[in-house]
Structure 1
Amino acid sequence: MTTNANRPRLRARLFSLLVFTGASLAAAAATAEEIAIYAGKLFDSERGQLLEDRTIHVVDGRIESVQVGFAKRERQQLVDLRDYTVLPGLMDMHTHLAYEFGPRTYMETFTWNAADYTLRGVDTAGRTLAAGFTTVRDLGDKDNVTVSLRNAINAGTIVGPRIFTAGKSIATTGGHADPTNGHRHALMGSPGPAEGVVNGTDSARQAVRQRYKDGADLIKITATGGVLSVAKSGQNPQFMDDELEAIVKTAKDYGFTVAVHAHGKEGMERAIRAGVDSIEHGTYMDAETMDLMRRFNTWYVPTILAGEWVTEKSAVEGFFPDVVRTKAATIGPLIQNTFAEAYKRGVKIAFGTDSGVSRHGDNGREFVLMVRAGMTPADAIRSATWNAAQLLGAEDELGSISPGKHADIIAVKGNPLEDISELQRVRFVMKGGEVFKPVRAAE
């Protein structure tokens, strides 16, 4: 229920969204086919270093060339970022655009329709792009709303990042992504592969094929228990070896990568041996698990921000159901230390926040937490650019400011190699050659 006290705030948010969307679409429509960007400093994400005084030439949404010095052609529109640090568009490999956790989240399952989740996704997608994240993986939604969001963004109907979506996550009965966990018995039913619940190899294969039919870009499975599901364990293994192998083999047939939610060691290691592409969260991995990941060339997406957020909220009386609160207080504080050890041991790391647990648009805080745990600022930025593109298998299109790639370009005022928190204050956003967030004259 919207109270009178809440209406001004709601109107302000809607107005902000409409202004941002309208201004962005207008800017996109007015964008010249050829653009010259003067970059005072340019982050080379392939090598992890800053270059000075570069001109980026953008033609029809792609980077034509990068040259030393400042040199605008007569027919080009100029974007002058000589006083800024210019970087490739940031990439978040773990988001949930249809969700944003709050005190009423568990009730929304019973009161919200697909349209409600979609409209939220329009808002969260806009905030994500404004924060400098031009590409995201969405790792679990409801009613395939992020497939529709992806298509609408690609068509230019709404504003948001480039989306690679898994659609509905795949779980086992009672597992972390079983959509009926916590429901009363009369409402539980027996969800199957179409709803993302599998038992045995045949239904595991069917679930992958259903995601192909639904238009997903990749597969997401929940190999262990999780924190926010209304279920007792946050770390027990929830797939058998043959089920994991069936999912991975079928996914490869359809050109899918496989992302794996996992906190517990045993479930994680089963998934790694089955040949999955990435482990998300990875809380209880140890040195043996990390060595296994290196041997199998498995990526790690840490989501430290989600750990920080659930830890903070676990201290708030009544915010979580008791079964969730206990897991949040136990698992949340561990992720940053796990990340620190994985980085030291040379595990491949790609940036991910689990935004939708925390607030969308706050994704940049993950950089601060990564650096605080011991990662260099350059490596933290590379994890969200060059590394993320490799995880997606899109390094020919994304992840660096290089000829032939999409012109996904952002800028910050200061030097993020000296102060990584600059990435929480993105001043300029271009995606595919379209300026969605121009620098303000006062800056």
Structure 2
Amino acid sequence: MRRITILLFLLFLGNSFAPAFSQELVINHLNVITMLDDQVLEDHSIYVKDGVIMEIAPEDEISVAGVRTLDGRGMYVFPGLAEFHGHLPNPEQFGPEFQEEVMMLYLANGVLRIRSMLGHESHLALRDRVMKGELLGPRTFVSGPSLNGTSVADPEAGRAMVRAQKEVGYDHLKLHPGLDTPKFLAIADEAKKQGIFYGGHVSLDVGLVTSVTRGYRSVEHIDGFLEAMLPDGTTIDPTVSGPFNMNLVGQVDKSKLQGLIQLCLENKTWMAPTLTLFERYFGYQPAYELRQQPEMFYLPGLLVTQWYNTKSKMEADGVLAEAKVKPYLEFRQWLFLELHKAGVPMIMSSDSPQVFNVPGFSIHREIESMSKAGMSNYEILKTGTVNPAKYMNQEDQWGVLKPGAAAEFVLVQKNPLEDLTTMQKPQAIMIQGKFIQRDELQLELNLIRQKYLRQ
């Protein structure tokens, strides 16, 4: 697809394509949001060379002979967004080309870094191609295959899986439900020995407290809190408790949250909220409405149909009735904001591609959900910029705009600290030393949409 895309783009734009990928350039007349603080550096220039920011200064203070210059036209530039709970597809699903399309869907939406949380060996090769500049895509981190109650036969098998995933080069371990405490403790102990991050869902037998105190790097979906806040002695019957035990939300004792927050702060535990996943997958908005939203047409029709059938089945069974779901969604918004206000760090995440969450597009829905919950625009941007870099122990290397940091940024028309919706239409991105303008991003989107055009 890449070769065809480039040829088509050349036909549309003539000779403008080659200089757009210049390795060295100065962009003038920018309003720079560095994310080092919440200030805007007005009418500044950014000098980039070999994928690194060399200088940020007022225009008349940057003078580099022979370097191409671009006019930023007063646009705002910030370090881009993150999808730090995604699921890169496997090539067996819709072919390796679909993997590359997902990467482009992220970029076209200003998502410049991803953490894929359900591993496959092809993801390692995909990540490495991006790192080498052989494939255009976001900065990529990948977890290994799921460690869960079925895949882990016993504690020693869990240790062996940890060692194997570390050896082949995965960046992270993903834990799913069903682990008993002995299996979990073995995995946690071996992960610490091997020096690899681990986190995920919270197994019912293990519980949130044990997960956090034994070194969970991140709790995905803010999982385990509801169960940890139920009255002591509560019996959970999964046949009636609903998805993520949402039917038990009325029994929650909110006074228990402060102790859980303190544990998270003491153990430096991160949260991947994925608010929009629950609002769309497990929410009461009908599947037939979600199916018709514009971003669905950038995906294979079969995948969207699978999502539709999954959610429609739950609707038909009465699982997603508004009376059941609304209190749970309100609880999640409250929980998210309370954790944030207490200082528990968050990483921007929406869980895509997942039921009606389209890569890239769903991050903007997540941003809207975080804003509705009460998080400020600046703090929302931190979850997609500074925080992911801190999470990966790569602070100041990327996710900020400063000399010496990676030249990874997005240009938008308005100030995102005042208008979050402006980030939905990136006017240009800088990634892998390449400056890519809106015309090419839109062309790539058009090609993907045309491929999956359906009657």
* TM-score relative to the length of structure 2: 0.74
2:46 is the counterpart of 1:56: yes
Contact 1:135 1:162 in 2 (8 A): yes
1:338 counterpart (317, 335, 339): 335
Structure 2 CA distance, aligned partners of 1:250 and 1:48?
40
Q: Name the residue aligned to 2:247.
A: none
Contact 2:397 2:406 in 1 (8 A): yes
Q: 1:59 deviation in Å? A: 1.3
Q: 1:264 deviation in Å? A: 6.7
Q: Name the residue aligned to 2:28.
A: 38
SS at match of 1:320: helix
1:306 counterpart (267, 273, 277): 277
Contact 2:180 2:205 in 1 (8 A): no
2:287 is the counterpart of 1:287: no
Q: 1:199 deviation in Å? A: 3.4
Question: Partner letter of residue 434 of structure 2?
Answer: E
Figure out how many residues of one structure are paired with residues of the other and give that number. 374
Structure 1 CA distance, aligned partners of 2:161 and 2:17?
41
After superposition, give the CA deviation of every residue in 1:62-89 in whole Å (9 maximum; x if it has no partner): 1112113453523222232242110013
Q: Name the residue aligned to 2:5.
A: 19
Once the two structures are superposed, the pairs formed by residues 211-360 of structure 1 within 5 Å of their partners are 211-222=165-176, 224=177, 238-262=178-202, 267-283=207-223, 285=225, 286-312=257-283, 315-316=286-287, 318-320=309-311, 322=313, 330=325, 334-357=331-354, 358-360=357-359
Structure 2 CA distance, aligned partners of 1:155 and 1:361?
22
Structure 2 unaligned regions, length at least 5: 11-15, 226-256, 289-308, 441-455
After superposition, give the CA deviation of every residue in 1:213-254 in whole Å (9 maximum; x if it has no partner): 4431111112x4xxxxxxxxxxxxx33344333223322333
Q: 1:349 deviation in Å? A: 1.2
2:71 counterpart (65, 80, 83): 80
Cα 1:117/1:265, change in 2 over 3 Å: farther
Contact 1:147 1:215 in 2 (8 A): yes
Q: Name the residue aligned to 1:382.
A: 382
Q: Name the residue aligned to 1:367.
A: 367
Contact 1:34 1:58 in 2 (8 A): yes
Contact 2:133 2:432 in 1 (8 A): no
Moved more, 346-355 or 239-248: 239-248
Structure 2 CA distance, aligned partners of 1:397 and 1:406?
6
Q: Name the residue aligned to 1:119.
A: 97
Q: Name the residue aligned to 1:234.
A: none
Structure 1 CA distance, aligned partners of 2:180 and 2:141?
27
Question: Partner letter of residue 348 of structure 2?
Answer: F
Q: Name the residue aligned to 1:158.
A: 135
SS at match of 2:171: coil
Q: 1:300 deviation in Å? A: 0.9
Q: 1:432 deviation in Å? A: 2.7
SS at match of 1:198: coil
After superposition, give the CA deviation of every residue in 1:90-110 in whole Å (9 maximum; x if it has no partner): 2221111217xxxxxxxxxxx
Structure 2 CA distance, aligned partners of 1:243 and 1:43?
45
Q: How much identity, in percent, do the aligned residues show? A: 25
Structure 1 CA distance, aligned partners of 2:35 and 2:41?
11
Structure 2 CA distance, aligned partners of 1:313 and 1:439?
37
RMSD: 3.0
Structure 1 CA distance, aligned partners of 2:86 and 2:169?
18
Structure 2 CA distance, aligned partners of 1:364 and 1:31?
27
Q: 1:40 deviation in Å? A: 2.6
Structure 1 unaligned regions, length at least 5: 1-13, 100-112, 174-196, 225-237
Q: Name the residue aligned to 1:138.
A: 116
Of Structure 1 and Structure 2, which has the larger fraction of its residues in helix? 2
Q: 1:132 deviation in Å? A: 0.9
Structure 2 CA distance, aligned partners of 1:385 and 1:32?
24
Once the two structures are superposed, the pairs formed by residues 140-219 of structure 1 within 5 Å of their partners are 140-141=118-119, 143-173=120-150, 197-219=151-173
Q: 1:402 deviation in Å? A: 1.3
Contact 1:46 1:382 in 2 (8 A): no
Cα 1:245/1:319, change in 2 over 3 Å: closer
* TM-score relative to the length of structure 1: 0.76
Q: 1:420 deviation in Å? A: 1.1
Question: Partner letter of residue 388 of structure 2?
Answer: A
After superposition, give the CA deviation of every residue in 1:150-175 in whole Å (9 maximum; x if it has no partner): 123233333211210003222112xx
After superposition, give the CA deviation of every residue in 1:18-51 in whole Å (9 maximum; x if it has no partner): 5379759x95786333211225311121223322
